Amino acid sequence: MADLAVQQARKGRAAGGVSRFLHNTFVRNLSAKIAAAPMIATVLVVFIGCTIWTVWYSFTNSRLLPTGDFVGFQQYERLFATARWNVSVWNLVIYGAFSLVFTMVFGFLLAVLMDQKIRFENVFRTIMLYPFALSFIVTGLVWQWIMNPTLGLQGTMRNLGWTGFSFDWLNNPRMVLFALLIAGLWQGVGFVMVLMLAGLRGIDGEIWKAARVDGIPTWRTYLSIVLPMMRGVFVTAVVLVGSGIVRLYDLVVALTDGGPGIASEVPAKYVYNYMFGAGNIAQGLAASTMMLLTVVIIIIPWAYLEFGGRGRRS
Amino acid sequence: MSDTVTMPAGAPPARHTSTSSDPRGPRPKPFFTPKKIVIYSILLFASLYFLFPLYVMITTSFKTMPEIRWGNIFAPPIEPTGEAWHKAWFSACTGLTCNGLNPGFWNSVQITIPSTIVSIFIAAVNGYALVNWKFKGSELFFAVLVFGSFIPYQVMLYPLVMLTREMGIFGSLWAVILVHSIFGMPILTLLFRNYFAALPVELFKASRVDGAGFWRIFFEIMLPMSLPIFVVAMILQVTGIWNDFLFGVVFAGTQNYPMTVQLNNIVNSAQGSPEYNVNMAATILTGLVPLFIYFVSGRLFVRGIAAGAVKG
């Protein structure tokens, strides 16, 4: 900003230049600037200001109130020495990996099936997408009821005579993440399917004709021509699903509340509990800074591909 | 989109595409080809997975507790009763109070309506300014805004608590409305920017020549032409805000919890033996508003999702 001012001032003729600069900066397009003020304020105060605040105070020993001394990486050392945090991170990695792969694969396969000029396409699409309109709390509670070990699916099957049937994932520390996965996929696959379907519809019909004339089998065409052409859609879907996974919170609260024990804890819940429950703000801030770091690591390669690539082409 | 099809490397040369000289016409296809049977079976099987929870929710909510304890979630209710619905709405316990979901419903309404209006209006004006009234730094602010939308909410949660506390609105509906307006801004601004950018620029220029200013062009030229995008934005915001849990639980204060928070309290409160029929009725009640919007808006909902997804 200061540099600009100096440049502008040099370019202008003494005092007249300065006043023109002030005029350009503040008065020109004044209505537009006033209209954009909420956006500018949000960017400066919330997205930049709050983020810097959080990172800064994660290096203090604030407990009930965000005051306190600068303690370097002490909060982070403590974070990674806490079993609950490590379990949370590990859970998120496992859940995230499965969730990402399954939503992409199922979303794409369903979109391919939906693209086969089938009848009742609208009906199928409605059925697959309606869970996406529901909140994670609703999703979590419905599946909590279905997976209820005594009265849900397991109890029903046993009552019907299949006494060996077992579906107690909510009480089983090793399977509870897959219970989350079933509910998460139920909510989100339809969304990815719709994105993919839009992507498939955007591909020129000539390409299909050409491939058919050349005798390339359909699956080959999908794999080596259509998939690469849909790169943009895939990247968008991965970024959206990915940043959703990092935020995973409501679903866990409603379905398992982190249990059994700490078997389904996730980072977002750790942050919440330390900030608003345990009264150890700096610890929560350190944990949320780690979440920020994760998202930055997801976003940067994407931004590079999207914007860096576009810049080179033009 | 240009007419020329860009082929990936190794794609067949273009002369092969002339299929019109093909001697055979399209053969009439029988409906039950093996391929069709496989496709429909898979789609039907997938539909079962998606529909099963809805079926279970509805049937459970009409059962009596003895019937539920009998233990068959597949069975339809033998003697359907609306008692669970009545209790879920009027008298189920959400924490300390036992007034059912209906206060939560009204809180959600009071949160959703102003948040939706404010965020859409701000975003529409921003999008319009970004397209037609660019100023130094406007693109940069916008880029930061879009990137900021990927920052996990948890990172900005505590500073926002302090900020709203300073403003004296923490623990009231206003805080929730403010937070929703802030976090709705990036996607909506993007949506409106792209929409306004696609309108013919001559319209804007002509009205400038006629002497219309910033606001007059916005209200008299731009707004009347942008009904479709307003509907899409409205669908995105209403479903998004209604379904929120985190901001409600942090910013609203106990008296003002939105429906999602109350629902979670009804189901996951430890006292007494759980009444699954009431829980399921409450769950459906909470999902009714977004489901209603989804079914009424149909294709527009899909468009809203696709539009909201093209970030960046």
CB A91 within 8 A of CB A85: no
> Containing H/E element for A137?
helix A136-146
The mean of the pLDDT values for chain B is 85
With vertex at residue B44, the alpha carbon angle to CA B40 and CA B45, rounded to the nearest 5 degrees, is: 120
pLDDT band per the 50, 70, 90 thresholds, residue B32:
confident
| Substitution target from A62, A117, A135, A221 for chain B, most B beta carbons within 10 A | A135
* Minimum CA–CA partner of B118 in chain A: A38
Would you say A133 and B238 are in contact if contact means Cβ atoms under 8 Å apart? no
* Chain A: closest CA distance from residue B11 (Å): 8
B19 in Cβ contact with A214 (< 8 Å): no
pLDDT beyond 90 at B68: no
- Does residue B66 have a cis bond before it (omega within 30 degrees)? no
- Of residues A3 and B34, more confidence is placed in B34
Q: Closest CB to A43: pick one of B40, B141, B310.
A: B141
Task: Output B181 or A29, whichever has higher pLDDT.
Answer: B181
Distance CA A22, CA A25 (A): 5
Place of tokens 């009071």: B110
User: Is-contact A122 A197, C-beta < 8 A?
Assistant: no
pLDDT at residue B262, rounded to an integer: 93
Residue type, position B58, single letter: I
Q: Between vectors from CA A243 to CA A299 and to CA A277, what angle results, nearest 5°?
A: 120
pLDDT in tens, B74-128: 888 888 888 889 999 988 888 778 888 999 999 999 999 999 999 999 999 999 9
pLDDT (0 to 100) of residue A232: 83
Reading the block at residue B113, the tokens are 């309506």
Cβ–Cβ < 8 Å for A63, A280: yes
Residue B11 pLDDT greater than 50, yes or no? no
Name residues whose C-beta falls within 8 Å of residue A13's C-beta, 6 or more positions apart in sequence.
Answer: none
SS3 state at B76: coil
B-chain CB neighbours of A204 within 8 Å are 5
Residue B213 has pLDDT above 60, yes or no: yes
Smallest Cβ distance to B49: which of A125, A133, A186? A186
Q: Say yes or no to pLDDT of B243 above 90.
A: yes
pLDDT digits (tens, 9 = 90+) for B125-156: 999 999 888 888 888 888 888 888 888 999 99
Paired tokens of B79: 């003697």
CB neighbourhood size of A181 (10 A): 18
Q: A69 and A61 in contact (C-beta within 8 Å)?
A: yes
- How confident is chain A (314 residues) per 10-residue block, as mean pLDDT? 50 57 68 86 92 92 82 89 94 95 95 90 92 94 91 86 84 91 95 92 87 88 89 86 89 90 93 88 93 87 71 42
pLDDT band of residue B16 (cuts 50, 70, 90) is: very low
Q: Are B295 and A139 in contact (CB under 8 A)?
A: no
Question: Residues B209-215: what's their mean pLDDT?
Answer: 86
Please report the DSSP string for B171-223 in residue order.
TSHHHHHHHHHHHHHHHHHHHHHHHHHHS-HHHHHHHHHTT--HHHHIIIIIH
Give the nearest chain B residue to A65 (CA atoms): B162
Contacts A135 to B, Cβ<8 Å: 242-245, 260, 286-287, 290
Residue of B nearest to A280 (CA): B158
Structure tokens at B11: 């794609």
Question: Measured between beta carbons, which residues in chain A are less than 8 angstroms from residue B142?
Answer: 39
Could you tell me which chain B residue has the CA closest to the CA of A161?
B72
A:B CB pairs within 8 Å: 290
Residue from the list A127, A195, A284 with its beta carbon closest to the beta carbon of B47: A127
What DSSP character marks residue B66? H
Q: Do B39 and A113 touch (CB under 8 A)?
A: yes
- For residues B10-32, give the mean pLDDT: 52
Nearest to A137 among B17, B35, B264 (CB): B264
Predicted confidence at residue B23, as pLDDT, reads: 55
Closest in B141, B189, B279 to A141, CB measured: B279
Mutate to test the interface with A, among B151, B157, B208, B264 (most CBs of A within 10 A): B151
Q: Please list, in sequence order, all residues whose beta carbon lies within 8 angstroms of the beta carbon of residue A19, skipping any fewer than 6 positions away.
A: none
Residue B10 pLDDT greater than 60, yes or no: no
For A250, the closest chain B residue by CA position comes to B245
Closest chain A CA to residue B149: A47
pTM for this entry? 0.85
Query: Rounded distance, CA A266 to CA A253, Å?
Result: 10
Confidence of residue B56 (pLDDT cuts 50, 70, 90): very high
B215 closest CB neighbour out of A31, A43, A225 = A31
